[in-house]
Structure 1
Amino acid sequence: MKQIGRYRLDRVLGAGAFATVWKAYDPDLDVPVAVKVLADNWAVNADVRERFLTEARLLRRIQSPRVVRVYDVGVSPPGGDRPEQPYFVMDFIEGGALTGLVGQLPADEAVRLAAEASEAVQVLHEAGIVHRDLKPGNFLIDTRHAPLHVLVADLGSAKKLADASGYTVTTGSPAYMAPEQADQFGGFDSRADVYALGVVSYELLAGRRPFAGLTAGELVRRSRDVRPEPIAARLGLPPQIDQLLAAAMDPDPDGRPADAHTFGTTLRAALPAETDTAVAGPPAWQQEPTVLQTPPQPREAQQQTWLRREVSADDRLPAPTRTEDGTVLLPPPASKPRRGWPAPAVILVAVVLFVLAAAVAWTLK
């Protein structure tokens, strides 16, 4: 079992060039935590070590539910050929990274989460910090809330905006990096993060990165005529989505939305308005089930016939008819023709009566 400080290290959540993040257990508080540990080979590098601790200080200073919180910092003692290792402890976010949801969400939910991510980045900007390494793996999904919340994490490449106007070491992931961020002497501001948000939002919707066929050098030198492939129509979204994503990824910072908040609110506003439930009625899962009633059957069909006889075609009643609403119309009772004597019998009876009457008359004379 691995241990650092009082924390039991259970499994690796992610690893980079400079540090490894573990899911760990805090026995004192009896809660799962995330512990970021500086790599052995960098623990003796003073500059990297200072940047590692700067990340912890920045996360600790920003008190926001949209930014991962740090609540402990420590250094493990050296052992054998292993130097002492700095580490810091953060809240464990159960939902994991946004990477697992790329291309897996309905379009409207992907837009909503991209807008959530933008608001999280805005918190950094208002604190005077530019992230410089925004990508799906550095956004975490907080499943403790409904709807889901997005938190921003990993400030290992973050830089104070006051220090971002002059010479700076190029850092970040090339696929998400704004062209001006790759220029060590040009300087940059928070709009570099807006560029990365455009790439992340596109990837979340399309399931792939824009400009996948371009090299890192071609991305940096890309002209404004090279635009991302439109995806809105295929996803059933309004064309304003394509326009906004293309603007966010404009090589010229002046062509982008002014800040992360503007990008996020414009992205959310581009979605069609939700259906008014007061007019359309409650959702299907709240509606009462419709019970289909069996239409009434004729009385003859309800009674059990125990005496059977042959019925001639003339004696059969017309079949009942049924209207569209299920009402059964019974036919009027058929009038049966009166059955009389045959004509020869009538004549014979008349002759007999005439003969009898004549005989009676002759007798009385």
Structure 2
Amino acid sequence: MLSGFCPGCLLNTVLETETSLALGSQIEEYELLSEVARGGMGIVYRARQRVPSRVVALKMILPSHLNSAGAVDRFRAEAEAAASLDHEAILPIYAVGEHDGAPFYSMKFAENGTLSARIDNYRDKPREAAALIAKLARAVAFAHEHGILHRDLKPGNVLFDSAGKAFVSDFGLAKWLQRECDLTQTLAILGTPYYMAPEQATDSRGVTGGADVYSLGAILYHLLAGRPPILGETPMEVLHRAATEQPKSPRLTNARTSRDLETICLKCLEKEPGARYVSAAALADDLERFCVGDTIQARPVGLASRAWRWTRRNPGLAALSVLSVAL
């Protein structure tokens, strides 16, 4: 291979050149103003809508996916999921349409970016961090009540508008609880490893609302500790460690974190879904109790309980440990 040659970089450059629409292009009643972001399946533009006259975010499927019926169906399912949820903390969808055979949808343009760029703002303000996650948990609970799991909650999918109001966005990996079909790829690991529940890496189709609770806890942990709960050199290492290791106490890196808030956070990050909050609403309730100084419902997990849970998850290693002690 030629020194300094990056095939992946070249491919990305080619794809970006081939898939970006010219700024100023007209997509039905929308004029494209600038590209905001792109992902594996779609591209988001800042656009101007004619009627009503306003700036919106316009998400379109990448042309390279138009020949894949599965990709088109998944994109439409994402739009349907997001459009079905009318909640003050879920980014509102304005319209769903199609242009020259390519599906798209328009939504509120959140001009103040994502939580990823604001994480450091919360480290010295744990109560504000708790209040933010409580609001997001209420939105997630609303989605669950309407039969939709998000499955990709992370700082990059929390957006802020000009007033500083936060919104849950990007239901690209959403799952309808009451439907037999799941339009996401069967063999794909769905989610972002740093914020993904352990069970989601092995059974993305069988996950429950507990996976979203875990992700909310992982975001809270990042706000408090300044880093995700589990780190690793590769995505697979992160997933393995998330399944086998306990996150360190966020108080070790941030003394401003109270024991109660740490307890709430770590309860969300339990390996077993049944050991987490029973719902996103229950998590929101406890965070709101914390914010007003009331007694929280969660209780710290003792060393004995953690050891027992580890033994249940790792029976082989536990047996070897007992054997080595006996010898």
* TM-score normalized with structure 2 length: 0.74
Which residue of structure 2 lines up, in the alignment, with residue 184 of structure 1?
203
Q: Paired residue for 2:115, among 55, 79, 98?
A: 98
Farther off after superposition, 220-229 or 209-218:
220-229
Q: Paired residue for 2:177, among 158, 161, 179?
A: 161
1:1-365 alignment runs, 5 A limit:
1-77=24-100, 84-105=101-122, 106-144=125-163, 148-163=164-179, 168-169=186-187, 170-184=189-203, 187-213=206-232, 215-222=234-241, 226-232=245-251, 234-271=254-291, 273=293
Whole-angstrom distance in 1 between the partners of 2:263 and 2:152: 24
Whole-angstrom distance in 1 between the partners of 2:292 and 2:232: 32
Report the CA distance shift for 1:225/1:212 in structure 2 as closer, same or farther (over 3 A): closer
Shift of 1:186: 7.4
Shift of 1:163: 4.6
> Could you tell me which amino acid in structure 1 is paired with residue 178 of structure 2?
A
Report the CA distance shift for 1:271/1:138 in structure 2 as closer, same or farther (over 3 A): same
Whole-angstrom distance in 2 between the partners of 1:251 and 1:18: 30
Shift of 1:261: 1.5
> Could you tell me which amino acid in structure 2 is paired with residue 153 of structure 1?
S
Kept in 1, the 8 Å contact 2:133–2:220? The answer is yes
Whole-angstrom distance in 1 between the partners of 2:25 and 2:205: 45
Q: Tell me the secondary structure at the aligned position of residue 270 of structure 1.
A: helix
Shift of 1:204: 2.0
Whole-angstrom distance in 1 between the partners of 2:221 and 2:293: 21
Shift of 1:221: 4.2
Kept in 2, the 8 Å contact 1:94–1:143? The answer is yes
> Could you tell me which amino acid in structure 1 is paired with residue 102 of structure 2?
Q
Report the CA distance shift for 1:165/1:240 in structure 2 as closer, same or farther (over 3 A): farther
Kept in 2, the 8 Å contact 1:165–1:187? The answer is no
- Structure of larger gyration radius: 1
- Runs of 5+ consecutive residues of structure 2 not aligned to the other structure: 1-23, 295-327
Query: Of Structure 1 and Structure 2, which has the larger fraction of its residues in helix?
Result: 2
Shift of 1:236: 1.9
Whole-angstrom distance in 1 between the partners of 2:220 and 2:167: 15
> Could you tell me which amino acid in structure 2 is paired with residue 150 of structure 1?
A
> Stretches of 4+ moved more than 6 A in 1?
164-167
- Taking CA–CA contacts closer than 8 Å with sequence separation of 6 or more, which of the two structures ends up with the larger relative contact order? 2
Whole-angstrom distance in 1 between the partners of 2:132 and 2:48: 29
Q: Tell me the secondary structure at the aligned position of residue 34 of structure 1.
A: strand
Shift of 1:16: 0.4
Shift of 1:22: 1.1
> Could you tell me which amino acid in structure 2 is paired with residue 251 of structure 1?
K
Kept in 1, the 8 Å contact 2:147–2:176? The answer is yes
Report the CA distance shift for 1:13/1:207 in structure 2 as closer, same or farther (over 3 A): farther
Report the CA distance shift for 1:271/1:228 in structure 2 as closer, same or farther (over 3 A): farther
Shift of 1:267: 2.4
Farther off after superposition, 2-11 or 230-239:
230-239
> Could you tell me which amino acid in structure 2 is paired with residue 263 of structure 1?
L
Report the CA distance shift for 1:37/1:239 in structure 2 as closer, same or farther (over 3 A): same
Shift of 1:225: 7.3
> Could you tell me which amino acid in structure 2 is paired with residue 187 of structure 1?
G
Shift of 1:223: 7.5
CA RMSD of aligned residues (A): 2.5
Kept in 1, the 8 Å contact 2:56–2:107? The answer is yes
Whole-angstrom distance in 1 between the partners of 2:53 and 2:217: 39
Whole-angstrom distance in 1 between the partners of 2:273 and 2:219: 17
Whole-angstrom distance in 1 between the partners of 2:130 and 2:85: 26
